[in-house]
Amino acid sequence: MKDYLIVRSRDLQIAVELDYIVEAMLFIPLHRVPYKGPGYSGMITYRNETIPVYDLSFIFSNKPADISPTTKILIINKEKTIGLLVDDIESQLESERAKDDGTGYLKYFIRNGNNELLPVLDVDKIFIQIEDDKSTRAPLISEVDLSDLLISSHTGIHQYAEDVAGNIATDSYLIFNVKDEKLAIDSKSIREITDVNGLTAVPGSPEIIAGVVSVRGEITTIIDLSAVYFKEKSEVSQNSRIIVCDFSNERIGILVDSIHDFVSISEVDKFSSTFINPEALSLSHHQFEHNGELVSIISIERIIEELITNDQGGQYEAV
């Protein structure tokens, strides 16, 4: 016999093994940071750790969940921690395996108190799909939709969401690779992450300009971060990505070799940049340690200043 939590996702009742569940919490606003995995909906900060949240409705039906006052986030842990968005929690149940032919994201079946078969979520399969997913995507829930839904929710949920949002750490960073360096950028400046398809070189532009690309119909200048840091142009591969950022009411992209991770770092964990490529020291204001490696936080403002300083003959303005 095992213990299960019965949750609802649209019209489907699904059992989740309690062994995987750390906590069940009310829905709170999600950070709109691009990440990977089927049904990815955004990030939350949970116990000083930034974790991705996945929409169970989208995983099963390819339709995003309808956020309501009953929406919950299950905190799931299996080596890593993630959140699962569900429509509601219905009950807790002790049961045993009744049928073994689960398919897709369903592991097997158990019986409830009415002797009805209930599918059990295959948590392992979800973690495998997340790890195998090499593409980075925008969250399912948009800021506008989220705002409207929170306003339409009853006062208790709305106030809870505001209280939690006020306590969320703002020092969240996207870590990426450029040559042998691990660099990071503040998530608040990130608009989206896209692949390099459509990147077009601009003849006569500065070396640190990789080209331009159309992002949602807007022509965006792309800076080659390898050229900025190492004075060498990037070797574009299938792992290369463009991080689109908002800067001074303008949109600009930076070309990186690959995306590494997304983390939250407190002020006490940062220290002044020292161990870094000396030529790039002026572009990085702080560093932190992540999994035994030094990560340098780059400043978009300083990169733009470097671009303008080295711009010969107003070429940047021409781009």
186-198 pLDDT, tens digit per residue, is 877 887 888 888 8
Element (H, E) at 272: strand 271-272
Q: Are strands 2-9 and 88-95 parallel, antiparallel or unpaired?
A: antiparallel
Q: pLDDT category, 302, cuts 50, 70, 90?
A: confident
Tell me what pLDDT residue 143 has.
44
Please tell me which residue, 129 or 32, carries the higher pLDDT value.
Answer: 129
* Per-residue pLDDT tens over the stretch 70-96: 888 999 998 889 999 999 888 888 888
Q: Is the pTM of this model over 0.85?
A: no
Say yes or no to pLDDT of 314 above 80.
Answer: no
* Equal fold, 2-167 vs 172-318: yes
d(C-alpha 184, C-alpha 79), whole Å: 24
pLDDT tens for 28-40 read 778 777 788 888 9
pLDDT at residue 166 in the model: 47
- Rounded to an integer, the average pLDDT of 204-214 is 88
pLDDT of 158 strictly over 60: no
Q: What is the mean pLDDT of the chain?
A: 78
Average pLDDT over residues 36-55: 86
- Give the pLDDT mean for 95-112: 83
CATH architecture of 2-167: Beta Barrel (2.40)
CATH class of 172-318: mainly beta
Residue with token string 């204001």:
285
Q: Note the pLDDT of residue 312.
A: 47
| The pLDDT value given to residue 68 | 80
pLDDT given at position 9: 92
**pLDDT at position 155 over 50:** no
User: What burial letters (b/e) apply to 285-310, b meaning 16+ CB within 10 Å?
Assistant: ebbbebeeeebbbbbbeebbebbeee
* pLDDT value of residue 21: 92
Give the pLDDT confidence of 230-286 residue by residue, as tens digits.
888 888 888 898 988 877 777 889 999 988 887 777 665 676 655 555 555 567 778
User: Of the ranges 25-29, 104-108, 185-189, 289-293, which is most confident?
Assistant: 104-108
pLDDT for residue 205 is more than 90? no
**Domain ranges across the chain:** 2-167, 172-318
The C-alpha atoms of residue 281 and residue 232 are separated, in whole angstroms, by: 16
Task: Provide the pLDDT confidence category of residue 124 given band limits of 50, 70 and 90.
Answer: very high
pLDDT at 170 over 60: no
Task: Tell me what the mean pLDDT of segment 186-211 comes to.
Answer: 85
pLDDT average, residue stretch 136-163: 45
Which tokens go with 208?
């640190």
Orientation of helix 143-152 relative to helix 155-167, angle to 10°: 130
